[in-house]
Homo-oligomer: A and B are copies of this chain.
Amino acid sequence: MSSATILVVDDEPQIRKLLEISLEANGYKVLQAQSGKEGIMLAASHLPDLIILDLGLPDKNGHEVLRELRNWYNRPVLILSVIDHESDIVTALDEGAADYLTKPFRTAELMARIRSALRHNQSTETNTVINCGDLVIDLAARLVKKNGEIVKTTSTEFNLLALFVRNEGRALTHQYILKEVWGVGYQEETQYLRVFVGSLRKKIEDNPNKPKHLITESGVGYRFV
Q: Which residues of A does B touch, CB under 8 Å?
A: 86-87, 89-90, 93-94, 96-99, 106, 108-109, 111-113, 115-116, 119-120, 122, 124, 138, 140-143, 154-156, 169-171, 217-220, 223
Contact in complex: A169, B142 (CB < 8 Å)? no
Contact in complex: B86, A98 (CB < 8 Å)? no
Q: Of B106, B116, B156, B171, which is within 8 A of A142 by CB?
A: B171
Contact in complex: B141, A171 (CB < 8 Å)? yes
A219 with B116, Cβ < 8 A, contacts A108-B90, A171-B142 known: no
Chain B residue nearest in CB terms to A156: B219
Could you say which residues of chain B place their CB within 8 Å of the CB of A96? 119
Q: How far, in Å, is A162 (CB) from chain B's closest CB?
A: 12
Chain B residue nearest in CB terms to A106: B86
Could you say which residues of chain B place their CB within 8 Å of the CB of A93? 109, 112-113, 115-116
Q: Of B94, B140, B171, B220, which is within 8 A of A115 by CB?
A: B94
Q: How far, in Å, is A187 (CB) from chain B's closest CB?
A: 18
Q: How far, in Å, is A152 (CB) from chain B's closest CB?
A: 9
29 A-B residue pairs with CB within 8 Å: A86-B106, A86-B108, A89-B112, A90-B109, A93-B109, A93-B116, A94-B115, A94-B116, A97-B116, A98-B120, A99-B99, A122-B124, A138-B170, A140-B170, A141-B169, A141-B170, A141-B171, A141-B223, A142-B170, A142-B171, A142-B220, A143-B169, A143-B170, A154-B218, A155-B217, A155-B218, A155-B219, A155-B220, A156-B219
Contact in complex: A143, B124 (CB < 8 Å)? no
Residue of A119, A171, A218 with most partner-chain B CB within 10 A: A171
Could you say which residues of chain B place their CB within 8 Å of the CB of A156? 219
Bound Cα distance A74, B94 (Å):
22
Bound Cα distance A67, B141 (Å):
23
